[in-house]
Amino acid sequence: NAGVTQTPKFQVLKTGQSMTLQCAQDMNHNSMYWYRQDPGMGLRLIYYSASEGTTDKGEVPNGYNVSRLNKREFSLRLESAAPSQTSVYFCASSEATRAGGGELFFGEGSRLTVL
């Protein structure tokens, strides 16, 4: 039972390079999310997708783009990486789509370093 799978787990980029973080879930969840976690800052929402074909900005969307490729997959793209984007990125999925929230199931995380 894979749950939420993220790739890659580790990545080092140079400033200005681009990359895509991939995420897939096998729980048939409608909602998917990308969070970043920085020391002393907690988990902050970057983008989310309430259903296939829809995406919306979260708290910290600048410098990122997302694609909800299908119900299973939700990718996060950094077009021109900056050192401020050095972080651990978590993909999550949930059955909940309405206000109030529900349990989030997290992937293992992707640790990104931008030099």
Partner 1 sequence: QKEVEQNSGPLSVPEGAIASLNCTYSDRGSQSFFWYRQYSGKSPELIMFIYSNGDKEDGRFTAQLNKASQYVSLLIRDSQPSDSATYLCPIGGSQGNLIFGKGTKLSVKP
List contacts with partner 1 (CB under 8 A): 31, 33, 35, 40-45, 48, 50, 56, 58, 90, 94, 96-104, 106-109
With respect to partner 1, which residue has the nearer C-beta, 79 or 95? Answer: 95
Nearest approach in angstroms of CB 113 to partner 1 is 15
Nearest approach in angstroms of CB 87 to partner 1 is 14
Nearest approach in angstroms of CB 111 to partner 1 is 9
Residues 43, 35: Cα–Cα separation, whole Å: 6
Residues 113, 11: Cα–Cα separation, whole Å: 6
Contacts of 77 (CB under 8 A, 6+ apart): 18, 19, 20, 21, 64, 65, 66, 67
The residue count of the chain comes to: 115
Residues 103, 115: Cα–Cα separation, whole Å: 35
Nearest approach in angstroms of CB 50 to partner 1 is 6
With respect to partner 1, which residue has the nearer C-beta, 36 or 85? Answer: 36
With respect to partner 1, which residue has the nearer C-beta, 63 or 109? Answer: 109
